[in-house]
Amino acid sequence: MKKKKTYAIFGLGRYGKAVARELVKSGAEVLAVDIDEAIVNAAIVDLPYCKCADITDIEVLKQLGIQNIDVVIVAMANNLEASVMATMLCKELGVERVIAKCSSEMNCKILTKVGADKAIFPEKESGTRLAKNLLSSGFVDMIELSKDASMVEIDVRPEWEGKSLIELNLRAKYSINVVAIIQNKKINTFIDPSVPLDKSMTLVVIANINKLNKLKEV
């Protein structure tokens, strides 16, 4: 069983709280941080590990143990300067993945330039969806199609390399239907199931959510 990832949320506005609550509800270890003490006091009811702190100070981040966190979500789109500083400092401390919320396309470009691994528009991606994507460890992205089904991008696993879709029989084993293959940034929807898979490929699949959860535990 893989070790559960740890998360930190910077900024507890509506979006940040939605991400944090969904992660906590799913059993993830989450550190929630905001500079406003009143906001922290209100959020601590739902978020057990909630701190009031200045995330633009590297010494404060070290005291919070951010260097040991796997994923940091910077959810302060209304404060670009703080978002930039937090993103840079997190990467400097060795955080593997930093996701930054932004309020414009230009802000997204800036945050990506200073180290954000992903920059998102909250209007296009809800906090709940982001949390579910993060929790689906091993999956590149996930879009809910219904209560029971999702469209997911899955990296080719090492044990799948060199084997064809016919050999793997993913539909029978995991109720996975491969609808496209992404390779070299090109999407191919005309799939030859006899062609061996390569590690450079990403599978776009439609699958039952419960079956996907079992797959990531394998």
**Mean pLDDT across the stretch 189-195?**
87
pLDDT at position 134 = 60
Phi-psi region of 15 (alpha: psi -120 to 50; beta: other; left: phi over 0): alpha
Measured between alpha carbons, how far is 186 from 181 in angstroms, rounded to an integer? Answer: 8
Condensed to tens digits (0 to 9), the pLDDT of residues 54-105 reads 999 999 999 999 999 999 999 998 898 999 999 999 999 999 999 999 888 8
- Specify the pLDDT at position 126: 56
Tell me how many degrees the CA angle 151-155-159 measures, rounded to the nearest 5.
Answer: 125
pLDDT at 148: 67
Judged by DSSP in three states, 148 sits in coil
Domain 6-135 = CATH 2.40.50.140: no
Q: Answer whether 127's CB lies under 8 Å from 17's CB.
A: yes
Whole-angstrom Cα distance, residue 181 to residue 198?
11
Query: What tens digit of pLDDT does each residue of 100-138 get?
Result: 998 888 888 889 888 898 888 765 455 556 666 665 545
Residue for token digits 């609808």? 179
Q: What is the pLDDT of residues 150-187, one digit of tens each?
A: 777 788 888 899 999 999 988 888 778 888 888 887 87
Where residue 162 falls (left for φ over 0; alpha for ψ -120 to 50; beta otherwise) is left
More confident residue, 17 or 216: 17
Domain ranges of the chain: 6-135, 139-217
| Nearest Cα to Cα of residue 119 among 132, 106, 129 | 106
CATH assignment, 139-217: 3.30.70.1450
Residue type, 178: V
Place of tokens 């995330």: 55
